[in-house]
Amino acid sequence: MPILSVERVTKAFGGLAAVSNVSLDIIEGELVGLIGPNGAGKTTLFNLLTGIYVPDSGTINLSIDKQVIPLNGIRPHSICQKGLARTFQNIRLFKDLTVLENVLIAMNQNINYGLLTSFLHLPAYKREEEKLLHESIELLRIFDLDKKKDELARNLSYGEQRHLEIIRALATNPKLLLLDEPAAGMNPAETANLMDIIGWIREKFDLTILLIEHDMTLVMNICERIYVLDHGMLIASGTPDEVRTNKRVIEAYLGEDINNA
């Protein structure tokens, strides 16, 4: 049963169809890649899935615990609370807050105390805050960031900031995780390490993952299925081997064969 099913979704900006007529299904537990040349509409599709943009037409359904939840027209925070979290291509951490605060904010929806408790710091405050602190530090351990919990996010290295983005998304307790270019700007060793960790996270948190990536070694190595977008349209899908040899994909990336032109 697909955890996410996108049917004939279209989004146009002015006259330009950034995403047109895209349908895709993601099965629970899968690790799916979304690739395509620059400007193909990958991030726009992510923004449609997470509610930042509203599709012009088409439907997006999330199925969690056998319940189908239509995501069209729902605000982003609500989509996140339903179990769909994301990272951003252009890192969007809370840069002037500490590493720990970044994670705590993402856990906000789990807090069990009201406004009155937060004004008066009633006993529930201390109990809940300690629980959150404990859980946050557990998450930060994934990428060895627990030692840097009191540093400002802006002072982390680029790779660490990408890691923190993933941890922050995990802190919202998602079922489906969307990663927008998690390996951008990383060297091959860092990318290899990231691949291991993505696989590990998926097992440990019982996640379904959809990721956008330009690093083909990463995509071909860890993704079970791949969707390829070009000019807003879905041009191919299948296993890494199928996609690798697909003629339209090669054309999209390398241009048409001279003989055909």
Amino acid at 6: V
Q: How far apart are CA 201 and CA 208, in angstroms?
A: 10
Q: Which is nearer to other proteins, 20 or 50 (CB)?
A: 50
**Buried-exposed string 16-52: b where 16+ CB fall within 10 A, e elsewhere:** ebbbbebebbbeeebbbbbbbeeebbbbbbbbbbbbe
E strand residue ranges, the chain:
2-13, 16-27, 31-35, 57-64, 67-70, 84-86, 176-180, 208-212, 225-230, 233-238
By CB under 8 A, name the one of 8, 57, 109, 187 that touches other proteins.
109
Which parts of 28-96 are beta strand (E)? 31-35, 57-64, 67-70, 84-86
By the rule CB under 8 A, 81 interacts with other proteins? yes
93 part of the interface to other proteins, by CB under 8 A:
yes
Report DSSP state, residue 154: G
Q: Among 13, 29, 95, 188, which residue interacts with other proteins (rule: CB under 8 A)?
A: 95
**Which span sits near other proteins by CB under 8 A: 24-32, 118-126, 216-224, 229-237?**
118-126
**Residue 205 makes contact with other proteins by CB under 8 A:** no
The verdict on 160 binding other proteins (CB under 8 A) reads no
Residue (105 or 220) nearer to other proteins, CB:
105
Packing angle of the helix pair 99-106, 158-171 (nearest 10 deg): 30
* Segment contacting other proteins by CB under 8 A, of 69-77, 199-207, 209-217, 238-246: 69-77
Sole binder of other proteins in the list 40, 48, 99, 106 (CB under 8 A): 106
Residue 114: phi and psi, rounded to 5, are -95, -170
74 binds other proteins (CB under 8 A): no
Site string for other proteins, 165-204 (x = CB under 8 A): ---xx-xx--------------------------------
Quick check: 125 binds other proteins (CB under 8 A)? yes
Residue 235: phi and psi, rounded to 5, are -105, -15
Number of residues binding to other proteins, judged by CB under 8 A: 40
152 interacts with other proteins by CB under 8 A:
no
CA distance 52 to 77: 10
What's the min distance (Å) between Cβ of 97 and other proteins? 6
Task: Look at the chain and count its residues.
Answer: 261
66-77 residues labelled b (16+ CB within 10 A) or e (exposed) = eeebebeebeee
CB of 188 to other proteins, least distance (A): 29
104 binding other proteins? (CB under 8 A): yes
Q: Which is nearer to other proteins, 124 or 220 (CB)?
A: 124
For other proteins, the binding residues (CB under 8 A) are 50, 52, 75-78, 80-81, 85-86, 88, 92-97, 101, 104-109, 111, 113, 115, 117-121, 125, 128-129, 132, 168-169, 171-172
